[in-house]
Amino acid sequence: MPGPQIIAIANQKGGVGKTTTAVNLAASLAAAERRTLLVDMDPQGNASSGVGVPPGTAERTIYDALIGSATLADVLRSTKIETLDVAPSTQDLIGVEYELFDQDRGTHLATLLRAPEIAKYDYVILDSPPSLGVLTLNVLVAAKRVIVPLQPEYYALEGITYLMATIDRVRGSLNAELVMEGIVLTMWDPRNRLAHQVADEVRRHFRVFDAIIPRNVRLSEAPSHGLPALLYDAESKGAQGYLSLAREVIEGAA
C-alpha cells in the first residue's frame, strides 16, 4: 500500500505566509476528506496554535519524538477537524540543532515518518522554520514534494534561488525523490504593479499554482482564535484560496 503524500512547506524567508499555508492547506485537505497530519517543525509553534494547540499545552511534542524520548504515536493530537491531526512543536526544538549533531542529523524526521501509524494518513504537511538549518534539512529529507509560499516582492526571487540550491543539494545527497511541486503566491494585492511583475518573472522559471492567496483580514485573524480560516470564516477569500490550492494538490497527486 502506498504511503501518504509528504509535502514540505518551505521558504527560509520569514513573513511570507509559510505557516499560514501549512495550516490552511492541511485543513483544506482534511475538509476534502483526506486524512491529514500537520507536523510543526518550527520552534515558534505557530502552526500548532493555528489548529488549537497553543505553545506549552502539549505534554509531548515532535521534539520528544525526534530525540527518541517518545514515539510519534505519543505526540499526535486531534484537532477540531475530525480528519486533521497535529504533531505539535515546542521552543525546545531550538536545541535540536545541537542535540541531533550526528552523521544522521538530517534524517531523524524521515525515520519517524516511517512509523506504522503514518500509513493511515493520505497527506502529511510539514511546516518548517524560516531558516535553512537542521530542522529545515530534516523537513526536506522527509518530504516527497515541496511547496514554496512566495510573497511577490522585490527580494523574493533572491530567496528562492538559495532555497532551490538547498533543495538540489538535498536531492543529490539525502533524498533523490524530492520534487519541487510549485510556488503559491501569498499576500497578493492585485493593485500592486510590482507584485504582477514579480509573479510574471517567477512563472518564467517555476511552476506556479493557479490558486492565489490574497491579503485577507479574516486569514490573519483566524490564528488568534486557534482556528484555520476554513473554520473561522469559510466564505472569506483567504479560506477559498486555500481550498483551491488543496484541489490543485489533490489533482496533482491523482
Query: Which pLDDT score, from 0 to 100, does residue 254 have?
Result: 54
Determine the Cα–Cα distance for residues 160 and 157; give it in Å rounded to an integer: 5
Any bridge partners for residue 148, and if so which? Answer: 183
pLDDT at 187: 94
Give the integer Cα–Cα distance in Å for 22 and 86: 11
Please spell the DSSP secondary structure of 160-175, one letter per residue: HHHHHHHHHHHHHHT-
- Sign of the CA dihedral with 24 first, then 26, 30, and 34 last: positive
Q: Are 4 and 30 in contact (CB under 8 A)?
A: no
Is residue 44 within 8 Å of residue 129, measured between CB atoms?
yes
pLDDT by residue for the chain (254 residues), tens digit each? 578 999 999 998 888 999 999 999 999 999 999 999 999 999 999 999 999 998 889 999 999 999 899 999 999 999 999 999 999 999 999 888 777 656 667 899 999 999 999 999 999 999 999 988 899 999 999 999 999 999 998 888 888 888 999 999 999 999 999 999 999 999 999 899 999 999 999 999 999 999 999 999 999 999 999 999 999 999 999 999 999 999 999 998 65
Alpha helices in the chain (DSSP H): 18-31, 46-50, 62-66, 72-75, 96-99, 108-112, 134-142, 156-173, 193-205, 217-221, 229-232, 237-253
**pLDDT for residue 155:** 82
* CB-based contact 45:55 (threshold 8 Å): yes
The CATH code of the domain at 5-253 is 3.40.50.300
Give ∠ CA 23-26-28 in degrees, rounded to 5: 105
CA–CA gap between residue 43 and residue 67 (Å, rounded): 15
